Copies of this chain bind each other. A is one copy, B any other.
């Protein structure tokens, strides 16, 4: 059997994702589609609108055969570490190809960029530093640095979010000498960051924005998502009472920060360069997550970076917990769900894995999996007690089977 890997968040799953799965299947010729998916907290430092189990169900009902969980220590990270964890997980799962959507659409551009950048790293870094020192923003400074080593927008614009992620995937594959072929398909219509829904292919950002603003599946959203997403969004809300939003966590996060010492905050992942004092000071006046981030952010500390740091404070995840993120291999592969094809595939593949294949939380578990447990508890902690306890039970059950 021949497997193709996708790296996803599905927050929420929409028509663009269906297109991605279909095109990836076509381009790879694979008979098993494997998605490695962030859990309850996402790369940009946000809680997922619905939990990983309900997002897994949608994926399995929409053409994915196996959903693997990207561990928290890789998922809530910058694009390089996010990509590295995802690629290594898919490598353990034995995929032949990894297919990602990009603004570019040409895989050779990514590969050329990798080699050019590797050869001219020193010049790139020097240029980047020069522009950053002048107070230019990171994306703008990068643009200058890329141009300076001959990588212009004509080839590939490495300041566009999906190109950045795609580049990180390719880089991880090449740097780790993995026998995986990277593939890319050109994204249609909407940009990653688009804030409004303009067609049946809309960005997850625009769908979330509309969903959380109205706290309802409006007529704007419905054309952009498959029925399966609609159904899982409703099922989850029925079980939990909410769709998760950063603002739900504001009282917990503020309480937490206000009862921590500066040195305890400093021990949290992502709190660097004396930011602990700024966090404590601003906490006292904050009245929402939004206003709080606004009062912390600077050119250096972007919105996303602060959100990721807030997730780590919320889940009490420390710098020490992230040490294994730089190890050559992921610590385990966790299956969240699988189709019949996925089951057959995994039964064969598991013999060739170098790390344990896991399905649920257990006693005396891997420390990286223990972080997953804390993250799940933190994620559900905004729900009424009975609902929280019952949703958490999913963590202790066997993978979802289609």
A365-400: CB near B (< 8 Å → 1, else 0) gives 000000000100110011001100100100000000
Instruction: Check if A259 is an interface residue, CB within 8 A of chain B.
Output: yes
Instruction: Check if A301 is an interface residue, CB within 8 A of chain B.
Output: no
How far apart are the CA atoms of A392 and B374 in the complex, in Å? 30
Distance between A286 CB and nearest chain B CB, rounded to angstroms:
7
Return the chain B residue nearest A315 by Cβ: B259
Return the chain B residue nearest A380 by Cβ: B258
Q: A250-B385, A385-B250 are in contact. Are A258 and B377 (CB under 8 A)?
A: yes
How far apart are the CA atoms of A386 and B392 in the complex, in Å? 32
Q: Is the CB of B315 within 8 A of A385?
A: no
Q: Is the CB of A259 within 8 A of B385?
A: no
Q: In this complex, which of A314, A374, A377 has the most chain B Cβ atoms within 10 angstroms of its Cβ?
A: A377
How many of A's residues come within 8 Å of B, CB to CB?
27
Return the chain B residue nearest A383 by Cβ: B251
A contact face: mostly helix, strand, loop, or mixed: helix
How far apart are the CA atoms of A195 and B289 in the complex, in Å? 42
Q: List chain B residues, Cβ under 8 A from A385.
A: 250-251, 254, 286-288
Q: Is the CB of A389 within 8 A of B287?
A: yes
Q: List chain B residues, Cβ under 8 A from A284.
A: 389, 392
Instruction: Check if A172 is an interface residue, CB within 8 A of chain B.
Output: no
Q: Is the CB of B252 within 8 A of A252?
A: yes
Instruction: Check if A239 is an interface residue, CB within 8 A of chain B.
Output: no
Distance between A311 CB and nearest chain B CB, rounded to angstroms:
12
Distance between A294 CB and nearest chain B CB, rounded to angstroms:
14
